[in-house]
Chains A and B, each alone.
Chain A
Amino acid sequence: MQLPPGTYNTSYSQDMAVVRTRLQWVLLIVFLLFVFVAIPQIANRFWLSVLINIAIWIVATQGLNILLGYCGVPSMGHAGFMAVGAYTTAILGARYDLPFWVAMPCAGLAAAAVGAAFGVAALRVKTFYIVLATIAAALIIQYLISLFPSVTGGPMGIVVQPAKIGGIVLDHAKDFYYLAMAMAVLGTVFALNLARTRVGRALVAIRDNAIAAEAMGVNILLYKTIAFGICCFYAGIAGSLMAYYMMFVNTDLFTFDQSIWLMGTVLIGGAGTTVGPIFGTTFIQLLKQGIGRLGPKLVEAFPSVGAGVIAAIAPAVFGLVLMLVFIFEPRGLAHRWALFKAHYRMFPFSS
């Protein structure tokens, strides 16, 4: 970490500190207070739903970022693994009446197990082959869900009971917001720390040069499978959150398009950084929800243009943004943020 002028690390604990300077502490506490205290007070229904969506997506993209950003393995089946988590939650919650604090970790573990099983097969192949293998994984999961309608409800889906903590039922957006945001913060902290551990460094080594990493004693298949498992665990948790938020699960929530959006979000934010998924998710979700909110007004303003056209604006803009980001800033929004921080730190000597 680059430090402001005049600040030096003089001990190991200082060198390893995540939050190093007083200003960072202040900013962090202000940010957390803002997120957990101020926003629930001031946000209306629309903004709460936007923020809950952002929180759920941050969990999913942080997971994908561990695989894609740190390990360099693309996965286009993320939504499929989210579906595993969501259905596990729904089945455990609705059929077996398990409380949410059992169902959610189980959802994560189930997704991780399915992911690791596919991973062992998929990770033997490289780059583009993995892309198709993960797409295949998501399609097979969807097929399996539709194959057992007695368990999964088939196309009707399953109704999910709202989550309960103690005596509090999280059936209002405001209550659920705390849970979703807490999971997003937890997921981010875990991802941040994972990158600094032995596992995280092994993953980065595999991404940067697989053969050199192997020569250094990194078991590539093992670590890739671990990364895949962690990635799918996050997906399972995100899917579980989604199930509790929508109070309903069916396969239409987890399509191939969703996987593309998730992957694009990580890349627009900046793969391989912890802030990247947060930036990407916030940007993309604001864009999506903003256009979604603008849509009805546009339909009113231009009645001759069909509603289908308006609905296609969001993906069109997303596709365009994805292309432009890769042409002009391949390292994503996180790189811009790093440049801004460097500029701020060096001021007035930065150019």
Chain B
Amino acid sequence: MTIFFQLLLVGIMAGAVLGLTAMGFILIYRCSGIFNIAQGELVAIGALLCFAFLNGLNLHPALAIFLAMLGGALIGLLLSRFPFGPLTGQPMLALFIVSLGLLVFLRAGILMVWGTRDIGYFRPFLPQGAIDFAGLALYPRELFGFGVAAALLLVFLWLFRFTRFGLVLRAVSEDTRIARSLGINLKVLIAVAFAIGTAVAAVGGVILGLTQGITTNLGDVGLAGLAAVLIGGMESILGGIVGGLLIGVVTAMASYYIGHGFGGVAAYVVMLIILLVRPYGLFGQERIERV
């Protein structure tokens, strides 16, 4: 039974990163309708940037993470101009294909800049030993990651519910055209959403790098993040977090109880089952379509 709870804990901690990836993704999707499949590569870039600041320039950890976030936000701003800038109002499939091109491009770009080798680990800035937590082993880096993810989630929930920005954002995701006619500057909003979305992805990358080490194929987490998004439903930030936690736990459990290879697939099996039962995800809104 201890093992079960230990796996649960590990899964929840791992799920927090997926939740963060999903959160950035949903933010961009709700504002601009862009299904940004390249989100995983943005996560990888966040980790790599943080590694460069932390180990390369030997900066203070907090500063390095902040700079990685800033770098992510800048990349997001750039992305909202190119390639997505000229495509506002295009069909969703076209936007998706462009983000697919972006995925291939970023992946190749990461290989060009950082090479194919494993890069290493962050300069340790958290205590290394495990903490005893009611008989379970809990690592400070996992706790840190979970804490950051939870804090960001609370900030975003507050942002969406109680600020003007959140109101604007909800208006745009409800009906872009009416929101525009009411004087909302869509271009600025999309740019801001991209900046925040990629900054969140960068933080996700930092946390992922803490637990897994830095490699150039960290971006593969993007697909699991997308599965989390679909499990939760594409519209709901909370759904993304729940989906992420679910996938994290399922992956941890399946790797242990069924076999290591099944861990990577379990998330998708769960996703397929959930989509069969609830095609719009656990928290998604069912759309009624009219001709």
Contact = CB atoms under 8 A, between A and B. Distances in A.
Contacts of A186: none
Contact of B115 (A127, A256, A257, A309): A309
B87 A327 contact: yes
A28 interface: no
Given A128-B234, A309-B111, A326-B87, A212 B291 contact: yes
Nearest to B117: A308
Interface stretch (A58-66, A136-144, A197-205): A136-144
B223 interface: yes
Contact of A316 (B97, B105, B291): B105
B111 A132 contact: no
Contacts of A139: 264-265, 268
A319 B105 contact: yes
Contacts of A49: none
A162 to B, nearest CB: 32
23 contacts: A74-B96, A124-B275, A124-B279, A127-B93, A132-B226, A140-B265, A140-B269, A146-B261, A209-B291, A211-B289, A215-B291, A256-B223, A260-B100, A260-B103, A263-B97, A263-B100, A312-B111, A319-B102, A319-B108, A323-B98, A323-B102, A326-B83, A327-B83
Given A313-B112, A315-B105, 20 more contacts: A124-B276, A124-B279, A127-B96, A136-B227, A140-B268, A143-B262, A143-B265, A147-B261, A209-B291, A211-B291, A212-B291, A263-B97, A318-B108, A319-B106, A319-B108, A322-B101, A323-B105, A326-B94, A327-B86, A330-B94
A320 interface: yes
B107 A129 contact: no
A338 interface: no
B140 interface: no
Given A319-B102, A330-B90, A309 B268 contact: no
Contacts of B100: 260, 263-264, 322
Interface in A198-257: 209, 211-212, 215, 256-257
Contact of B271 (A136, A209, A320, A326): A136
Interface string A142-168: 010011000000000000000000000
Contacts of A319: 101-108
Interface of B: 35, 37, 83, 86-87, 90, 92-94, 96-98, 100-109, 111-112, 115-116, 223, 226-227, 230, 234, 261-262, 264-265, 268-269, 271-272, 275-276, 279, 289-291
Contacts of A5: none
Given A74-B93, A133-B272, A322 B98 contact: yes
Contacts of B37: 131
Interchain residue pairs A-B with the least CB separation, the first 5: A319-B105, A322-B101, A136-B268, A319-B104, A316-B108
Given A128-B35, A319-B105, A320-B105, A136 B111 contact: no
Contacts of B264: 139, 143
A306 interface: yes
A37 interface: no
Contacts of B272: 121-122, 133, 136
A326 B262 CA distance: 37
A205 B11 CA distance: 45
B111 A311 contact: yes
A267 interface: yes
A135 interface: yes
A125 B261 contact: no
A311 B289 CA distance: 46
A308 B116 CA distance: 6
Given A316-B112, A327-B86, A267 B97 contact: yes
B70 to A, nearest CB: 25
A261 B100 CA distance: 10
B83 A121 contact: no
B257 to A, nearest CB: 15
B196 to A, nearest CB: 21
Nearest to B265: A143
A129 B105 contact: no
Most buried by B among A131, A311, A312: A312
A126 B286 CA distance: 12
A261 B102 CA distance: 12
B215 to A, nearest CB: 13
B101 A264 contact: yes
Contacts of A327: 83, 86-87, 98
Contacts of B116: 308
Contacts of A257: 104
A132 B269 CA distance: 11
Interface string A259-278: 01101100100000000000
Contacts of A147: 261
B119 to A, nearest CB: 13
Nearest to A215: B291
A122 B96 CA distance: 18
A74 B93 CA distance: 9
A314 B115 CA distance: 15
Contacts of B109: 312, 316
Nearest to B229: A132
A238 B101 CA distance: 24
A215 B291 CA distance: 11
Contacts of A311: 111
Contacts of B234: 128
